[in-house]
Structure 1
C-alpha cells in the first residue's frame, strides 16, 4: 500500500531526518531539493509506469557529479532508503521510493559527439532519443533500445538490447568507460585499463555498485536512412507466420534485426480504421545496412501468406527508433514477464499462437526479440550480461491505460509466461519485475553472481544501492 509522506516526516518523523540536515543539503546543492508540498514535487515524483505511485521524502535533482556525490553522502548519513532515477523506465518502479531519497539524474542529460573519433560522451540522465538525435546528425549510432524515452543509464547497466545489436552488439559492448560515484561519495573511473573488474560488473550488473554519472560509447555507422517497419497478419494466421519467420531468420545476415509482436491493431494514423482493435501478429524489422539490400532481405517475409498491412519502407532511422513510443506512453499501467528460449520449436509456436489470441487490452502485447549475431560472438564471461546464447527473448506485457482491467492483463502475462516454462533458458535482467533474489541469481548464473557479490562487497558493503535487481553483499 502506498503511504503519503508529509513534510513532518522529513523534519522529525519516520525518515529520521532533521530540518537542519535538509537545510544543509539545500545549501550545498546546485540543483533542486524537493519535498512534499514543494512546487514541482508532484511532477518529479512520478515515473513512467503509472501503476507505481510512490512518495519520496526528498527528491534531489542533480545538475552534475558534485550534486550526485552530495546526495549519495546525504542518503548514506541520513539512513534514508536511496533510489536512483535516470529515465525512470524501470518496469517494477525501482527508480523511486516511498519515504526515502530519490536521486534524480534527469537534469544531467548532456550528449557530446566526436564524429571523427566516433565516440560519444553521455550523461546518465539522457534519454535514448536525445542520444539518437545527436549521433544521427553524423550517420552514427550508439546501439540502444526501441523506445526513445527510455533512459540511457538503466538500459546500459542491464545490457542494452535493440535494433542494431545483431550487427554491433549490445549497448554494453560499445561502452568504453564509465564514471561512478560510490557509496562513500567518491568518484571512480571504470574501463578495461582501470578498475577492470568493476567495468566488467557495470556491463550488465545494473545499479548495484554506485551511481554512474557519465558513459563513453563507441559509435557505429547506421542510416540516416534504413529499410525498416512492420508487416501485419491476422492473429488467426499466427502459426503459419511464425513457421515462415523461423525459416526466414535461420540464416539471415547480422544487419537484420526483428521483433515479433502480438497485440490488438493500434489506433494510429497509418492503421486503417477497419483493422483497429483486431488481433494481429506482426514482424517488425530494421536492416542496419544498405537500403536496397534491406528491401531484398525483407521481401520473403513480407510475402508470406496474406498480410493485412505492410509498413516496411525506407525511412529515417530516427523515425524507426520512435515507432514503439505510442505503445509505451508515460502514465499507463505496465506489467511484464520475460524469459529467453533457445528456439521457436513447434511447441513454442503453439503457445505463442494460443496466448496471443487471448489479448483483450489495446496496450497488452508480446515482443519476441531475435537474438544472435554480434551479441552471441562476444564471450559469455566478457561482461556481467547473461543471455548471449539465447535464441529469442520474450517480453510479455500485460498493460492497460489505467487501473481498470489491469489485474486481468497482469494475469494474462503470468499465464503466458508459465505456459512457456518448459522452454525457459534464462531472463534479461532489465525485463525482471520484483521477483525475488533467487530470480536475480538465475538471471546471472552462479559464476557471474559470485563475481558480482564480490564487487558488491568491495564497492557497496552496506547495500546502500539496493533498489535495483539487487545483488546483496552477503
Structure 2
C-alpha cells in the first residue's frame, strides 16, 4: 500500500477517482444507490475508484486509523442486506468501473467489477455473443459472480462461476493479483462461490457463448384458489423440463385488489428440442389460467428487462432469504403457501411480500463436483427466494421475522424429506446463517484460503469464515 496517512488530502492526491464526503450531493446519490433503502448505511467516506490502482491507497487510508475503519465494497448494490455498505467506515463504490470488452479472438469478455449484467448483455446483443449471468439486468456482476451467478442459461452451461476464466483481485494488503487455475489457484477457487470475503474482484474474464436465438417468455396468471392445481402443474413441468426450459412461480398479491395470486413466468430457449405447446401444456390444462400472455424476445438483454414494470410497483423496502429445494415437494409448497397467505393477509404493509420458485432442470450445474469450486449447492435443486417487502420502516422487524421463519421452515423440511442438507445459497443469505450450513464440506478449505489472503479479516461483510491455516 502506498500510504499510511489518515490525511484525506494524501488519499485524494493518490487516486484518479473521487472521495465523497457526507453532505455533498454526490455522496447522497452514491449512499442511496441501492436496490432497497434497507441496504444503505452511512459510511464516513465513499471512494469511487477510476482505476484498479485507486483501491490500495483507500485500503491503506482505512487501515491507518486507530482503530482501523471498516471497509465495504459496493458493486451493483442489489443485495438486500447491508453487505455492500458500512456505518462510519470506508465504502469502495465500483460505480466507475463498468467497462465490458470483448477479446479480439471473441473467445472471452473482460467485465469490470462495477458492471451490471445489463451492461454485459447490451454488448452481447450488439456483438453477437452470450454469457451466463443473472436473469435481471440490474444485478451487479461482481456480487453475483462470487456467489455463483445462476441464470437462464445455467442448465445448459453451468453457473456464471463455472464460466469464469480468470479474475483480477485487489487483496487486503493492497496487492493486485490475477487469479486463475494456473495463478493464485486457491484464491480462484475461493472467489467462485465463496462470496466477497477474499478481496475485491475488479475484473472478470468470462467465457463467451454463441447466441441461443429468440427466447419464449411471458406469464400465466391464476387465482389463489387454484393453488393446488398450479402446484401440480409445476411438478409436471419440473418432471419433464430439459436444460433449455424453466419456469418461475410467484406467490403475490398485485394491486389494486391485493388478492392472492399465482403467476408462472416460463422461459424457453430456441435450443429446446421440444414444441413450445408441449412444454407449456401443464400450465394450460392441469391448471387453467385466468389470463395468459406468451411472447418471443430476441435476446438476454430484452429478457432481463421483462419484469421492470412489475418491480417498479413493488414496495421499496426489501429483505431476501432463500434455500435450494431438491424438488417441488407438494407438502412444502402447501406449507409455504399457507404461511405466506396468513402473513400477507394479516399484515397490510407486508402484503407485497412474494415467494419466488425457480423451477428448472439443474443440468450442467450438477455435473460439477462440489469441491471443484467453493459453490456448494451442486446436486439437482430449484432455488426458492422469499422476498419480504414493505413500505414503512416500522414494519421491517415483522417482515424480517417472517422471511427468516419461512426460510428456516423450507430448509428444515427439505433436509428431513431428502435425508441430507443441501445448504443455503450464499447470494441470498443474510449473514447470520452458520458458515457450516452455507459452505458445507468446503468450509475447511475456505478457512485456509481466508488465512492465506485475508488473515486480519479486513473483508467481514456478509457470510465470512474465520481464518484457519491448520
TM-score normalised by the chain length of structure 1: 0.88
State the distance in 2 between where 1:128 and 1:465 align. 24
Give the alignment partner of residue 297 of structure 2, picking from 315, 338, 341: 315
Q: Contact 1:113 / 1:121 at 8 angstroms: preserved in 2?
A: yes
The yes-or-no answer on 1:391 pairing with 2:381 is yes
Mean CA deviation greater in 66-75 or 457-466? 66-75
Q: Secondary structure at the match of 1:335?
A: strand
For structure 2, which runs of at least 5 residues remain unmatched after alignment?
Answer: 416-421
Give the alignment partner of residue 267 of structure 2, picking from 283, 286, 291: 286
1:326 Cα shift?
A: 4.1
Match of 1:462 in 2: 456
For structure 1, which runs of at least 5 residues remain unmatched after alignment?
Answer: 1-16, 268-275
Deviations 1:360-418 (A, max 9, x none): 54531111123511111112211100101142222111112343644443333234334
State the distance in 1 between where 2:47 and 2:148 align. 26
1:325 Cα shift?
A: 3.5
State the distance in 1 between where 2:453 and 2:309 align. 39
Q: Secondary structure at the match of 2:95?
A: coil
Match of 2:179 in 1: 190
Q: Secondary structure at the match of 1:220?
A: coil
| Matched ranges for 1:370-385 at <5 A | 370-371=359-360, 372-385=362-375
1:164 Cα shift?
A: 1.5
From the superposition, tell whether residues 212 and 433 of structure 1 become closer, same or farther in structure 2 (CA, over 3 Å): same
Match of 2:35 in 1: 48
Give the alignment partner of residue 323 of structure 2, picking from 316, 330, 339: 339
Q: Contact 1:92 / 1:433 at 8 angstroms: preserved in 2?
A: yes
Match of 2:161 in 1: 172
1:251 Cα shift?
A: 2.8
Q: Contact 2:254 / 2:352 at 8 angstroms: preserved in 1?
A: no
Q: Secondary structure at the match of 2:85?
A: coil
The yes-or-no answer on 1:215 pairing with 2:204 is yes
The yes-or-no answer on 1:21 pairing with 2:7 is yes
From the superposition, tell whether residues 376 and 115 of structure 1 become closer, same or farther in structure 2 (CA, over 3 Å): farther
From the superposition, tell whether residues 408 and 341 of structure 1 become closer, same or farther in structure 2 (CA, over 3 Å): same
State the distance in 2 between where 1:298 and 1:313 align. 14
Deviations 1:53-94 (A, max 9, x none): 411111100111111222222223331100011111122111
1:193 Cα shift?
A: 1.7
From the superposition, tell whether residues 48 and 113 of structure 1 become closer, same or farther in structure 2 (CA, over 3 Å): same
Match of 1:431 in 2: 428
State the distance in 2 between where 1:418 and 1:183 align. 34
The number of aligned residues is: 446
- For the aligned residues, what is the CA RMSD? 2.3
Q: Contact 1:362 / 1:400 at 8 angstroms: preserved in 2?
A: yes
The yes-or-no answer on 1:66 pairing with 2:50 is no
